């Protein structure tokens, strides 16, 4: 069935925030952790909701840690954040071709909007569902279903694009098609084990998949 609606995760999918996230986690666990954390350990924190990751570091100080992390992350956005290759051009072409476009992210809406503004995509999406818009984060289907509802879209003609397992699982749970991105920091082999319908080598591959070349 023809794809009419495309929902995107943000960090690690459209915009490269990996070094920003790693820097913010490093800063936070340096203040609150009981030991230094290796880069490989911090990479494991990327993807799930912030509260879940920080719970593993110091369950007693989660609120303080979230505040510290978010302050560092917001203040340093401009120094780190950039769009991945072919992303901005692809999103423009999809928008011009009349596809419904949305963001479904596990970060807070305001921070997500900041990332979109910095990369020149602030006005390209009809809906943005952030962590503060839902009761249940991905891989629960709620964020995707909420975006579909706001767009009055059809799940059968919707595609969810993401860089992490919870994006693909959320897509499966919501009954939509899914696409993984080969540039995921987790590694494409890891993402492939979650059975996305498509794997994008670069974002412009989407144009062919949906027939918008």
Catalytic residues: 9
Going along the chain, which residue ranges are E strands?
Answer: 5-8, 15-16, 82-83, 100-104, 127-129, 158-162, 177-181, 198-200
Other Cβ atoms less than 10 A from the Cβ of 37: the count is: 16
CA 120/CA 116 separation, integer angstroms: 6
Give the rounded distance of the alpha carbon of 196 from its chain centre: 15
How many CB atoms sit inside 10 A of residue 2's CB? 7
CA distances from 54 to 31, 48, 61, 158 (A): 12, 10, 9, 32
């Amino acid at each position: 069935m023809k794809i009419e609606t495309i929902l995107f995760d943000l960090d690690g999918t459209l915009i490269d925030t990996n070094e920003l996230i790693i820097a913010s986690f490093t800063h936070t666990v340096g203040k609150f952790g009981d030991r230094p954390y290796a880069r490989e350990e911090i990479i494991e924190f990327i993807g799930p909701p912030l509260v879940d990751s920080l719970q593993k570091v110091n369950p007693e100080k989660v609120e303080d840690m979230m505040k510290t992390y978010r302050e560092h992350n917001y203040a340093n956005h401009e120094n780190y954040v950039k769009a991945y290759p072919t992303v901005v051009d692809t999103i423009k072409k999809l928008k011009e071709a009349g596809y419904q476009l949305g963001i479904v992210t596990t970060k807070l809406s305001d921070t997500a909007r900041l990332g979109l503004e910095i990369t020149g995509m602030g006005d390209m999406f009809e809906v943005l569902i952030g962590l503060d818009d839902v009761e249940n984060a991905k891989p629960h289907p709620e964020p995707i279903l909420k975006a579909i509802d706001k767009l009055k879209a059809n799940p059968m003609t919707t595609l969810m694009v993401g860089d992490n397992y919870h994006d693909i699982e959320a897509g499966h749970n919501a009954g939509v098609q899914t696409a993984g991105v080969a540039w995921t920091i987790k590694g494409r082999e890891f993402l492939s084990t979650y059975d996305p319908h498509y794997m994008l080598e670069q974002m412009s591959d989407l144009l062919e998949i949906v027939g918008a070349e």
